Structure 1
Amino acid sequence: MADFTITDDAGILEVLWRPGVRIGPAELDVLANTITHFPRWHASPVLVHLDLVRHITQPARRMLIAYHHAGPIGLTGRDPVDRVLAAFIVQSRSRTRYFTERGEARAWLSSLGAAGGRPVPAR
């Protein structure tokens, strides 16, 4: 059984982790190797659903903080565990933001587009 699924939904790569997954360096390595099979993965907006993640090891947290993705990364979650996990990830060198609603995260990612361009000004 895989620890995650990745889909390309209208140019946004979505990562959905297996319920209760414990993420360590090995799981991040598999994710990194898998995501490279998607066209333009290095600059694509990425949406990561944290709702089902229950633990990210300290070495994996260091890896996430050190990672730099050219496109923006949106994180979604709803409970205090998700917020704690997101607090570590948003410290990365990537343009990353946490949301409680999938639709808000997708709107933000769409407004930035590939390679993390500037947001479209609100009218």
Structure 2
Amino acid sequence: MSNQQTTRQQGGTDLASAEKIEIGLDDGGIVEVVLPVCSEIGAPEAQAAAAVVRSMSGGRKRPVLMTVTGVLDITDGARAVYAAAETVSAFALLGESPVDRVLAHFLLRATPQSVPARYFTSEAAAREWLAGYLRES
């Protein structure tokens, strides 16, 4: 993560102790969320991560870069939590594989139409796109 401030958050009991959702705020104001590889993300994990994102956002809407590389499953409950995010000005979902793309599009379908959201395989392209939503936040 290319951030100044990083918080590691584990929520619920579905994640093994070594697996953590990494959440940080980069120097430019983009919130970075890295979902753990080989994990299943449920509502408890998503709620814990959302609480940290709200806290980091300081009441401002911020763009979010969420890395989904290697995630095994995202439940309907987790998808509902991410779809209800109140402090997000735009979502960029980052992945590498066809499975990552499927999971990302599962999340994208739940994103409110008022929140721009896209899938990327290039972190640089995702950050460039999100930079346009920093000015609006």
Q: TM-score scaled by structure 1?
A: 0.81
- SS of structure 1 residue aligned to 2:82: helix
- SS of structure 1 residue aligned to 2:38: coil
- SS of structure 1 residue aligned to 2:118: strand
Indicate how the Cα distance of structure 1 residues 66 and 38 shifts in structure 2: closer, same or farther if over 3 A, else same. closer
Show structure 2 runs of 5+ residues with no match.
Answer: 1-16
Equivalent positions of 1:31-110 (< 5 A) are: 31-40=49-58, 42-67=60-85, 69-91=87-109, 92-93=111-112, 94-110=115-131
The structural deviation recorded for 1:109 is 0.2
CA RMSD, Structure 1 to Structure 2 (Å): 2.0
Tell me the amino acid that sits aligned with residue 21 of structure 2: F
Indicate how the Cα distance of structure 1 residues 45 and 65 shifts in structure 2: closer, same or farther if over 3 A, else same. closer
Q: Which residue of structure 2 aligns with residue 119 of structure 1? A: none
Indicate how the Cα distance of structure 1 residues 85 and 114 shifts in structure 2: closer, same or farther if over 3 A, else same. farther
Tell me if 1:21 matches 2:42: no
Count matched residues: 116
More helix by share: 1
Q: 1:7 aligns with which of 24, 29, 49?
A: 24
Determine if contact 1:51/1:76 at 8 Å carries over to the other structure: yes
Tell me the amino acid that sits aligned with residue 68 of structure 2: L
More strand by share: 2
Q: C-alpha offsets along residues 20-61 of structure 1, whole Å, 9 cap, x if unaligned?
A: 111011111111111122143640111000103111123323
The structural deviation recorded for 1:69 is 4.7
Tell me the amino acid that sits aligned with residue 103 of structure 2: L
- SS of structure 1 residue aligned to 2:62: coil
Show structure 1 runs of 5+ residues with no match.
Answer: 117-123
CA distance in 2: counterparts of 1:75 and 1:41, whole angstroms: 22
Larger RCO, structure (CA 8 Å, separation 6 or more): 1
Q: C-alpha offsets along residues 71-113 of structure 1, whole Å, 9 cap, x if unaligned?
A: 1110000111111111111121021111000000000000221
